[in-house]
C-alpha cells in the first residue's frame, strides 16, 4: 500500500532488508578501527594541556570557560548573567526538546530535503551554525584580555582601552527619569513581543486550525527571543545600546 | 587397530592442502566444532541465514541491534556514522578514565601532582590522559554533528519525537561530563574555566545570590544555587571532590542509562528513519 513513494534511485534486485550481521557489524567494526587509530595517533602526537597548579589568587586574563560554552560566554557581553548563563541555556535545552512537538510538517521525515522544509532548516542552521558555532570560534580565537576583540595577527594587549560609551535605550531617547525609563523599556519589550506575535498569527492565520494556537504561540515566542538576541547584539555593536529595559530587579 | 593411530600426512599431501586452501577450512572446522567454541557461542559457525540472525539475537553485546535492517540505513552519507562514533568515544573515555582513576586523588593537595606523576612516571600515563581528554572533546563535536544530522533528515518527526527528547538530555549530559572533567586536573586552566562557568549559577533568578529577585528568597553567597554546586563560595577543594563524584559516578551512570534507552527506542521506533 505504501508503494506510492518509491525511492528515486531504484536499486537492483538486492532485497530491501539486509542482515545486520555481517552488513552493519562489519561497517561498525571498520568505523571503530578508523576512529580508535585516529584517536591513538592524535594522542601520541598532541599532549593535553597542563598549566601551573591552580592558584585562587592569580586570575588569568582572559578567563575563558571551556570552549564549548564560549558561545554563551560571548552572549554575556550583551546580556546580564541571569539571562546568558541561566535562562538562555534553559531555553536552548527546552526549545530543542520542543522541536518535534512544534514542527508538525509531515514532510522531510527520514531523508534530506531543503525544499520541503525551508523554514525549519533555516532556523536550525542559524541557531546552530551562527549563534552557537560562530560565537564559539570567535570566543576561542578572537577574544583576548578584558574579553576584547583581537584579530589573529594583533598582539593581546592587556591594557587595550576600549571606549565604552554605551547607554540604555530609554536614555538614548532622552528619558532621564528612572520610573519612566522602566515603563518605556518595558513598553518596547511588550510591543516587540506583542507585535511580533500578532503579525505571525495574522500572516499564518490559515495554519491556525491545523497547527493549533499553543504550538504557534510557543513557536513564535522562541523565534522572537532568538531574533531578539541578534537585535541586541546589533544594537550594542552598532549603536552602543546597553539595556532596553532597566528596573532595580532585572534589566534586559 | 591400525587405522586408529594418528595419520601423519605426507609433505605432498600437506602442500596440496595448503595450495588448494583446504587447510584453512579444516582448521576452522576443528576449532568451531570444539567444545570450547560451541559452549562459548550460542549459534553455529556456518554462514547461513539462521546463523546470521542468531549472531545478533543470541549475543548480549550485539542484540541491541535489530537482526535485519533497511539497506538505506547502511549508507554513511545518511547517518554520517555520528551516533555510533559518539558512543565509541564515550566507551573510550570510560576505559581510559578508569585507568586514570587508579592514579588520581580528588584532593586539593594531591590532584595536580597526581597528574604530573601520571604524565611523567606512569607507563603510558600521558597517552591515557591524552586519549581521555581528546576523546571527550571529540565526543562533544560528534554529538553536535549527530544532532545536526538527525535534524537535517527530519528524524525527530513521528514516531521518533521521544528519542529526540532523550537525545537532548544526552547532549546536555555530554557537555556536563566534559565540564565536570575540566576541573579535575586542578591547574589554572581548570580552576578558572570552572570559576567562569559556575559563576553563572550565582545569577540564577531567585536561587542565586546575585540573581534577580534573590532578595525575596534570602539566599546568600554561602547558601545559594552556586554553593550547592561547588560546596562553598569559591572553587576550592570541596568543588573538586563534588565534580569528581559527578564526573566519575553520577553523570556517566545517567548518561549510560539514557544511551541504552536511546538505542532501544531506535529499534522500537522502527529502526533508522528512512524515506518510506
Ligand atoms: C551520547 C550521545 C548520543 C549517542 C551515543 C547516540 C547514539 C545514536 C546512534 C548510534 C544512533 C543510530 C543512528 C546513527 O548513528 O545516526 C542514533 C540515532 C538517533 N539519535 Fe542519537 N545519540 C546521541 C545523542 C543524540 C542527540 C543529542 C539527539 C538529538 C537531540 C539524538 C537523536 C537521535 C535520533 C532521533 C535518532 C534516530 C535517527 C534515525 O532514525 O534516523 N541522539 N543515536
pLDDT at A227: 95
Q: What is the pLDDT of residues A161-191, one digit of tens each?
A: 776 778 889 888 888 888 898 999 999 999 9
Q: What is the pLDDT of residues B20-52, one digit of tens each?
A: 888 898 999 999 999 999 999 888 888 899 999
Which of A32, A68, A103 is opposite residue B88, by nearest beta carbon?
A32
Whether residue A227 lies inside any domain: the answer is yes
What is this structure's pTM? 0.91
Q: What is the pLDDT of residues B92-131, one digit of tens each?
A: 999 999 999 999 999 999 999 999 999 999 999 999 999 9
Which of B131, B138, B182 is opposite residue A66, by nearest beta carbon?
B182
Boundary (domain end) residue, out of A136, A159, A182: A159
Q: Where are the domains of chain B?
A: 81-150+158-268
Q: Which CATH superfamily is domain B81-150+158-268 in?
A: Cytochrome Bc1 Complex; Chain C (1.20.810.10)
Per the structure block, which three cell numbers stand in for B220? 546568600
b or e along A128-158 (b: 16 or more beta carbons within 10 Å of the residue's beta carbon)?
beebbeebbeebeeebbebbbebeeeeeeee
Within 8 A of B191 by CB-CB distance, chain A residues are 54-56
Considering only CA atoms, which residue is closest to atom 15 of ligand 1? B83
Nearest CA in chain A to B200: A85
Q: What is the pLDDT of residues A208-250, one digit of tens each?
A: 999 999 999 999 999 999 999 999 999 998 888 889 988 888 8
Whether residue A91 lies inside any domain: the answer is yes
Task: Tell me whether residues B197 and A108 touch, CB distance under 8 A.
Answer: no
One domain for residues A70 and A124:
yes
Percent of chain B clearing pLDDT 90 (strictly above): 70
Report yes or no: A211 and A97 within 8 Å, Cβ to Cβ: no
Cα of B173 vs centre of ligand 1, distance in Å, is: 14
Considering only CA atoms, which residue is closest to atom 17 of ligand 1? B83
Q: How many domains does chain A have?
A: 3
Within 8 A of B158 by CB-CB distance, chain A residues are 100, 109
One domain for residues A25 and A82:
no
Residue A209 buriedness (CB in 10 A; 0-12 / 13-18 / 19+): exposed
pLDDT at A239: 87
One domain for residues A216 and A136:
no
Q: What is the DSSP string of chain B?
A: -GGGSPP---HHHHHHHHHHTHHHHHHHHHHHTSHHHHHH-SS-SS--HHHHHHHHHT-TTTTTS-SEEEGGGG-HHHHTTHHHHHHHHHHHHHHHHHHHHTT----TTTHHHHHHHHHHTSTTHHHHHHHHHHHHHHHHHHHHHHHHHHHHTTTTSTT-HHHHHHHHHHHHHHHHHHHHHHHTT-BHHHHHHHHHHHHGGGG-TTTSTTSTTHHHHT-BTTBSHHHHHHTSSSSSHHHHHHHHHIIIIIHHHHHHHHHHHHHHHHHHTTSS----
Element (H, E) at A19: strand A17-19
Q: What does the pLDDT average to over A85-113?
A: 95
Interface size between A and B, measured as CB pairs under 8 A: 226
Measure Cα distances from B122 to B31, B125, B186, B220, B252 in Å: 39, 5, 19, 44, 25
Whether residue A54 lies inside any domain: the answer is no
B44 reaches A (C-beta below 8 A): no
Whether residue A123 lies inside any domain: the answer is yes
Which of A36, A82, A97 is opposite residue B212, by nearest beta carbon?
A82
One domain for residues A187 and A249:
yes
Which ipTM score applies to this complex? 0.90
Amino acid at each position: 500500500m505504501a508503494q506510492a513513494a518509491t525511492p528515486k534511485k531504484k536499486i537492483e534486485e538486492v532485497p530491501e532488508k539486509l542482515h545486520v550481521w555481517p552488513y552493519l557489524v562489519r561497517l561498525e567494526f571498520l568505523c571503530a578501527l578508523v576512529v580508535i587509530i585516529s584517536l591513538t595517533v592524535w594522542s601520541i602526537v598532541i599532549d593535553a594541556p597542563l598549566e601551573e597548579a591552580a592558584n585562587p589568587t592569580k586570575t588569568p586574563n582572559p578567563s575563558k570557560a571551556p570552549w564549548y560554552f564560549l558561545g554563551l560566554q560571548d552572549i554575556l557581553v550583551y546580556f546580564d548573567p541571569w539571562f546568558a548563563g541561566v535562562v538562555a541555556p534553559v531555553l536552548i535545552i527546552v526549545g530543542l526538546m520542543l522541536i518535534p512537538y512544534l514542527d508538525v510538517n509531515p514532510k522531510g521525515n527520514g531523508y534530506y530535503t531543503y525544499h520541503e522544509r525551508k523554514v525549519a532548516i533555516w532556523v536550525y542552521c542559524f541557531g546552530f551554525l551562527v549563534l552557537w558555532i560562530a560565537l564559539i570560534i570567535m570566543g576561542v580565537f578572537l577574544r583576548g584580555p578584558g574579553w576584547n576583540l583581537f584579530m589573529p595577527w594583533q598582539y593581546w594587549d592587556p591594557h587595550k582601552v576600549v571606549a565604552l560609551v554605551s547607554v540604555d535605550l530609554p536614555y538614548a531617547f532622552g528619558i532621564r527619569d528612572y520610573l519612566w525609563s522602566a515603563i518605556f523599556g518595558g513598553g518596547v519589550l511588550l510591543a516587540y513581543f506583542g507585535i511580533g506575535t500578532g503579525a505571525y498569527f495574522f500572516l499564518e492565520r490559515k495554519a491556525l486550525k491545523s497547527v493549533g494556537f499553543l504550538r504557534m504561540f510557543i513557536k513564535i515566542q522562541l523565534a522572537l527571543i532568538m531574533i531578539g538576541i541578534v537585535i541586541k547584539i546589533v544594537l550594542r555593536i552598532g549603536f552602543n545600546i546597553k539595556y532596553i529595559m532597566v528596573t532595580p530587579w532585572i534589566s534586559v | 587397530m591400525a587405522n586408529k593411530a594418528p595419520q601423519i600426512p605426507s609433505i605432498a599431501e600437506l602442500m596440496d592442502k595448503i595450495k588448494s586452501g583446504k587447510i584453512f577450512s579444516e582448521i576452522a572446522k576443528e576449532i568451531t566444532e570444539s567444545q570450547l567454541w560451541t559452549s562459548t557461542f550460542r549459534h553455529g559457525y556456518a554462514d547461513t541465514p539462521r546463523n546470521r540472525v542468531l549472531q545478533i539475537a543470541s549475543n548480549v553485546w550485539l542484540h541491541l541491534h535489530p537482526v535485519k535492517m533497511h539497506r538505506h540505513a547502511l549508507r554513511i552519507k545518511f547517518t554520517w556514522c555520528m551516533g555510533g562514533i559518539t558512543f565509541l568515544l564515550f566507551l573510550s573515555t570510560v576505559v581510559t578514565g578508569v585507568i586514570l582513576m587508579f592514579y588520581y586523588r580528588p584532593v586539593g593537595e594531591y590532584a595536580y601532582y597526581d597528574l604530573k606523576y601520571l604524565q611523567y612516571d606512569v607507563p603510558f600515563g600521558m597517552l591515557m590522559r591524552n586519549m581521555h581528554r581528546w576523546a571527550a572533546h571529540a565526543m562533544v563535536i560528534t554529538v553536535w554533528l549527530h544532532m545536526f544530522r538527525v535534524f537535517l533528515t527530519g528524524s525527530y518527526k513521528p514516531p521518533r519525537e521521544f528519542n529526540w527528547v532523550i537525545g537532548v538530555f544526552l547532549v546536555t549530559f555530554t557537555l556536563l561530563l566534559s565540564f565536570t572533567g575540566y576541573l579535575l586536573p586542578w591547574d589554572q586552566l581548570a580552576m578558572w574555566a570552572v570559576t567562569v562557568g559556575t559563576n553563572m549559577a550565582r545569577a540564577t533568578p531567585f536561587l542565586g545570590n546575585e540573581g534577580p529577585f534573590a532578595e525575596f528568597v534570602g539566599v546568600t553567597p554561602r547558601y545559594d544555587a552556586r554553593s550547592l554546586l561547588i560546596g562553598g563560595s569559591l572553587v576550592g577543594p570541596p568543588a573538586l571532590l563534588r565534580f569528581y563524584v559527578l564526573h566519575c559516578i553520577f553523570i556517566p551512570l545517567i548518561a549510560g542509562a539514557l544511551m541504552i534507552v536511546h538505542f532501544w527506542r531506535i529499534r522500537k521506533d522502527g529502526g533508522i528513519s528512512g524515506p518510506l
